[in-house]
């Protein structure tokens, strides 16, 4: 079951969703781009272990939801052929980036272990940290909402 909730990170009341599963809930805010999971408990072994392999910026930007006693993180969304959305910058100055998947010219494929495509990180499009929704629209994972252009 999915329901709309008030985002504890950005306070948006229209774009934050909780997906309730039998054993846990997952959370995603399309306004600020932060996500969580009811298993991301503060100071839990699972959270500590997960943070060991999480980019430093993501852990630096985490938000503690005292009401639910969970940690929220900025999203890193990898949608394969659709590309990737990720935060980039420093904790005091950061943005969302959207990198598309591009074809690698045959003459350069040996530089990429024979792969035919790659993420175009160098030319990733930048979106303000408060405009995660535009990055999602650019990727094609959301549709325009009523009133959007």
pLDDT at 108 over 60: yes
- Give the C-alpha separation, 40 to 72, whole Å: 8
Check if the beta carbon of residue 56 is closer than 8 Å to that of residue 31. Answer: no
Q: What is the pLDDT, as a whole number, of residue 143? A: 66
Check if the beta carbon of residue 17 is closer than 8 Å to that of residue 28. Answer: yes
pLDDT in tens, 27-85: 999 999 999 999 999 888 888 988 999 999 999 999 999 999 999 999 999 999 999 99
- Give the C-alpha separation, 19 to 137, whole Å: 21
pLDDT in tens, 11-35: 999 999 999 999 999 999 999 999 9
Cα–Cα distances (Å) from 24 to 18, 38, 41, in that order, read 10, 6, 12
Give, as one character, the DSSP assignment of residue 8.
T
Q: What is the pLDDT, as a whole number, of residue 39? A: 93
């Amino acid at each position: 079951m999915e329901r709309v909730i008030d985002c504890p990170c950005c306070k948006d009341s229209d774009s934050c969703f909780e997906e309730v599963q039998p054993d846990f809930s997952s959370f995603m805010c399309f306004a600020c781009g932060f996500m969580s999971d009811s298993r991301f408990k503060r100071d839990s072994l699972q959270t500590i272990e997960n943070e060991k392999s999480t980019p430093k910026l993501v852990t630096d930007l985490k938000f503690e939801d005292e009401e639910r006693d969970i940690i929220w993180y900025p999203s890193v969304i990898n949608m394969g052929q659709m590309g990737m959305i990720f935060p980039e910058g420093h904790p005091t100055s950061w943005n969302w980036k959207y990198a598309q998947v591009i074809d690698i010219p045959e003459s350069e494929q040996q530089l990429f272990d024979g792969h035919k495509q790659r993420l175009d990180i160098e030319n990733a499009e930048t979106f303000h940290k408060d405009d995660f929704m535009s990055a999602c629209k650019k990727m094609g994972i959301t549709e325009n909402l009523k009133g959007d252009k």
